[in-house]
Amino acid sequence: MCNSLKMALCLSSFLFVSIFAEVDECKESRCAVQGPSIRFPFWLKDHQPDHCGYPGFKLSCSEKNQTMLHLSHSVKLLVRKIDYKSQEILVHDQDDCRLTQFLILNLSSSPFHFLQENQVDYSLFNCSSTKTDSEFQPVPCLSVPAYPVYAVTSWALIRYLNLSSCLKIHISLPYQTLEPENLFTMNWVKPMCKSCETEGKKCRLKKSSSEEPHTECIKGASKTPMVTGVTLGSIFLMLGVITLYHKYSSNKLERENQMKIEKFLEDYIALKPSRYSYVDVKKITNQFKDKLGEGGYGIVYKGTLSNEVFVAVKILKNFKGNGEEFINEVETMGTIHHVNVVRLVGFCADGFRRAVIYEYLPNESLEKFIFSTTFKNYSLSWEKLQNIALGVAKGIEYLHQGCDQRILHFDIKPHNILLDHNFNPKISDFGLAKLCSKEQSAVSMTAARGTMGYIAPEMLSRNFGNVSYKSDVYSFGMLLLEMVGGRKNIDVTVENSSQAYFPEWIYNHLDQGEELHIRIEEEGDTHIARKLTIVGLWCIQWYPVDRPSMKLVVQMLEGEGESLPMPPNPFTCTR
Ligand SMILES: *[C@@H]1O[C@H](CO)[C@@H](O)[C@H](O)[C@H]1NC(C)=O
Ligand SMILES: *[C@@H]1O[C@H](CO)[C@@H](O)[C@H](O)[C@H]1NC(C)=O
Ligand SMILES: *[C@@H]1O[C@H](CO)[C@@H](O)[C@H](O)[C@H]1NC(C)=O
Ligand SMILES: *[C@@H]1O[C@H](CO)[C@@H](O)[C@H](O)[C@H]1NC(C)=O
Ligand SMILES: *[C@@H]1O[C@H](CO)[C@@H](O)[C@H](O)[C@H]1NC(C)=O
Ligand SMILES: *[C@@H]1O[C@H](CO)[C@@H](O)[C@H](O)[C@H]1NC(C)=O
Ligand SMILES: *[C@@H]1O[C@H](CO)[C@@H](O)[C@H](O)[C@H]1NC(C)=O
Ligand SMILES: *[C@@H]1O[C@H](CO)[C@@H](O)[C@H](O)[C@H]1NC(C)=O
């Protein structure tokens, strides 16, 4: 009797130990409550023995409880998400000089690979001269004196660039590695645990003596000890359920947010805008707390998707038009990617409410630099102005030509050109944009869109022609002339009334062969000012057919400008 009791006690404690030994050692783990769950093929250093994982899948927890992937001795990446079913891992590089890491990193000896579709977007060039074109993104941490290194998108843009003093460093990087968010996805092929995971089973290393590690698929939970130790088991199960429930309810909100962020990141990487409800938008903007600006078409608020991801949210005012059309259009626009175009990352079409969500750029719009007196001391050099003009032109050209469908912006103006810390321009605000096929020569529109002072004549009256991509060319021309004049084109406050309309004034001066005397300090500047003016005047030709395409504009801006012919007088609408 006594013996059998002892035996039972002994047995149950043995079972207890064995359950925990079996489950504990390689049990799923995390570095933080919200951190990704860690299980085979990954293993967590200092928490699990290495046979819990597959070679090359070592993770560790940082001091801040972030999950880190050890790709090599020196290369550690932060892990945001692990998708066991698709065998993908979303990582983030904490180092400022991300590229150095990739250069020293030899991925061929690691189980991870960049996802193919992300792979060809940036090339690095080691140049022996300084490049000021906006396509050349400096990479200071790789540059040595006299040999600056630049990253260039390997899109069609390269054909425009003068790379004669540059050597290509043969590497192509996912574009995300240069983005401020700096998140990218890698996948692994071996070990193949996909099918195990989708069946809800557990994958683990097969115990074998051979060198090459093999994996096997086992049932999710070990049932046998559960049946024997059923009493014990159910107590622990209950305790577990209670703890889990508590954890769950207190973390539910957090988790929901986390899921939204993950969804956003997935979409972001797939170049697909996320859709948000109005409630989400309210949350993202923290109840519309931080207003960034207001335009004729809506108010822009600053928003936060997570600690690292900031966005600009534009709530469209009085948006007329059909929800489905809106969604189709923003989804298309979300797929575009260009250095000179701000990315659209999400949208909201909730009832009658419409919002568009863009990447947030902390720096100011071109408007501030051209018009505001507080920024005048910051005055942009003519060289810079030229680069900005060229960047904007390339951005618009990309919108017009670079995608399957033509994207017409219809609200090009200094306010909508954002400048980053290197004064690289990015076109923002597609609130009014319209898609049309490239063959289409006319766009039907029910109401005039745009901002006075930049609106093309045909937008106001069809007598002058059809609305088309040439309408953006007009707005660009007006923008160019404002950059030249350093003032609004229409300014009734100037003393001399003949100068009130700047484009006409400057046309008359140029037409009479006069030199330009506007804010010119250096010799070469006259030259740039003249070129920008002539291109601007070509763009604001009254009739759309007389205006150049953006492609031609880019070529004109890139050229020397000496041979540019004087355009006809844009201020007559009789022909
Ligand atoms: C990391 O997690 C441990 C416990 O899991 C906690 O005590 C510690 O405060 C966390 N550290 C940070 C920086 O969050
Ligand atoms: C990367 O490693 C593989 C084998 O491990 C080797 O063949 C290859 O040359 C290495 N590449 C570089 C750039 O070091
Ligand atoms: C760029 O080229 C120079 C001269 O050949 C060299 O010293 C430098 O290390 C190169 N930079 C990189 C990042 O390869
Ligand atoms: C390209 O740049 C080099 C040196 O930076 C210069 O000598 C050459 O004339 C340029 N070529 C063109 C077509 O601008
Ligand atoms: C601009 O610079 C001048 C001198 O260079 C200075 O006196 C003036 O206060 C500055 N203005 C602003 C708004 O910074
Ligand atoms: C904006 O650009 C200026 C000029 O380069 C820079 O000094 C400033 O720090 C930038 N502001 C932000 C918020 O990045
Ligand atoms: C405007 O478009 C219509 C058809 O969409 C076309 O018939 C007409 O010729 C166009 N007008 C001009 C001036 O291009
Ligand atoms: C106004 O401008 C015209 C032409 O540019 C010039 O002839 C005239 O002298 C100017 N008047 C004043 C008061 O500056």
Is residue 463 located within the same domain as residue 417?
A: yes
- pLDDT score at 397: 93
Task: Name the closest-CA residue to atom 3, ligand 3.
Answer: 147
Is residue 462 located within the same domain as residue 536?
A: yes
- Considering the domain boundaries, does residue 568 fall inside one? no
Instruction: Look up the CATH number of the domain holding residue 473.
Output: 1.10.510.10
175's CB contacts (< 8 A; 6+ apart) are 118, 121, 122, 153, 337
- Considering the domain boundaries, does residue 23 fall inside one? no
- pLDDT score at 42: 92
Is residue 194 located within the same domain as residue 317?
A: no
Active-site pick, 93, 121, 411, 429: 411
Pocket of ligand 6 contains residue 377 by CB under 6 Å: no
Residue 300 bridge partners (DSSP): 293, 314
- pLDDT score at 75: 78
Task: Name the closest-CA residue to atom 4, ligand 5.
Answer: 377
> Cβ distance 66 to 59 under 8 Å?
no
Distance of CA 76 to the CA centre of its chain: 23
374's CB contacts (< 8 A; 6+ apart) are none
The ligand 2 atom at the shortest distance from the C-alpha of residue 106 is 1
Is residue 353 located within the same domain as residue 497?
A: no
Q: How far is CA 509 from CA 262, 482, 489, 499, 533, in A?
A: 57, 16, 15, 11, 11
H-state helical runs in 112-209: 194-198
Pocket of ligand 7 contains residue 441 by CB under 6 Å: yes
Is residue 74 located within the same domain as residue 192?
A: yes
pTM tops 0.85, yes or no: no
Task: Name the closest-CA residue to atom 5, ligand 2.
Answer: 109
- Considering the domain boundaries, does residue 250 fall inside one? no
CA distance 462 to 55: 69
Domain boundary among 306, 328, 359: 359
To the nearest whole percent, how much of the chain has pLDDT over 90? 13
CA distance 568 to 393: 21
Is residue 288 located within the same domain as residue 384?
A: no
Task: Name the closest-CA residue to atom 7, ligand 8.
Answer: 498
- pLDDT score at 10: 42
φ, ψ of residue 70 to 5 degrees: the values are -95, 105
- Considering the domain boundaries, does residue 155 fall inside one? yes
3-state secondary structure 58-126: EEEECCCCCEEEECCCCCEEEEEEEECCCCEEEEECCCCCHHHHHHHCCHHHCCEEECHHHCCCEEEEE
CA distance 159 to 147: 22
Instruction: Report how many domains make up the chain.
Output: 3
Side chain identity at 35, as an amino acid letter?
Answer: G
Using CB distances shorter than 6 Å, the residues near ligand 5 are 374, 377
434's CB contacts (< 8 A; 6+ apart) are 329, 407, 408, 410, 443, 445, 449
- Considering the domain boundaries, does residue 91 fall inside one? yes
Domain boundary among 359, 375, 391: 359
Is residue 403 located within the same domain as residue 518?
A: yes
User: How far apart are the CA of 27 and the centre of ligand 2, in A?
Assistant: 35
Which domain covers residue 93, as residue numbers? 31-218
- Considering the domain boundaries, does residue 11 fall inside one? no
Pocket of ligand 7 contains residue 465 by CB under 6 Å: yes
270-290 pLDDT per residue, tens: 567 788 888 889 889 988 899
User: How far apart are the CA of 303 and the centre of ligand 1, in A?
Assistant: 28
522 φ/ψ sector (left φ>0, alpha ψ -120 to 50, else beta)? beta
Is residue 382 located within the same domain as residue 347?
A: no
- pLDDT score at 536: 94
Is residue 420 located within the same domain as residue 460?
A: yes
> Cβ distance 99 to 141 under 8 Å?
yes
Pocket of ligand 3 contains residue 126 by CB under 6 Å: yes
- pLDDT score at 228: 41
- Residue 314 counted as an annotated binding residue: yes
Pocket of ligand 4 contains residue 164 by CB under 6 Å: yes
- Proximal ligand: closest to the CA of 129: 4
- Proximal ligand: closest to the CA of 463: 7
φ, ψ of residue 311 to 5 degrees: the values are -135, 160
- Considering the domain boundaries, does residue 268 fall inside one? no
CA distance 455 to 448: 9
- pLDDT score at 493: 66
Q: Which residues in the chain show pLDDT less than 70?
A: 1-24, 95-106, 115-122, 133-135, 153-161, 170-182, 208-211, 220-271, 295-297, 307, 318-325, 372-379, 430-450, 491-499, 513-521, 573-575
The ligand 5 atom at the shortest distance from the C-alpha of residue 373 is 13
CA distance 490 to 540: 14
User: How far apart are the CA of 32 and the centre of ligand 4, in A?
Assistant: 54
Is residue 308 located within the same domain as residue 406?
A: no
> Cβ distance 468 to 442 under 8 Å?
yes
Is residue 354 located within the same domain as residue 375?
A: no
- pLDDT score at 392: 96
Query: Interhelix angle for 382-397 vs 470-485, to 10°?
Result: 170
Give yes or no: 50 in active site.
Answer: no
- pLDDT score at 373: 59
- Proximal ligand: closest to the CA of 362: 6
H-state helical runs in 457-522: 457-460, 470-485, 502-511
CA distance 251 to 255: 6
Q: Both tokens of residue 281? A: 């938008």
Is residue 62 located within the same domain as residue 91?
A: yes
325's CB contacts (< 8 A; 6+ apart) are none
Cα dihedral 547/552/554/557 (nearest 10): -80
- Considering the domain boundaries, does residue 51 fall inside one? yes
- pLDDT score at 388: 94
3-state secondary structure of 314: strand
The ligand 7 atom at the shortest distance from the C-alpha of residue 440 is 5
Domain boundary among 218, 238, 254: 218
Instruction: Look up the CATH number of the domain holding residue 339.
Output: 3.30.200.20
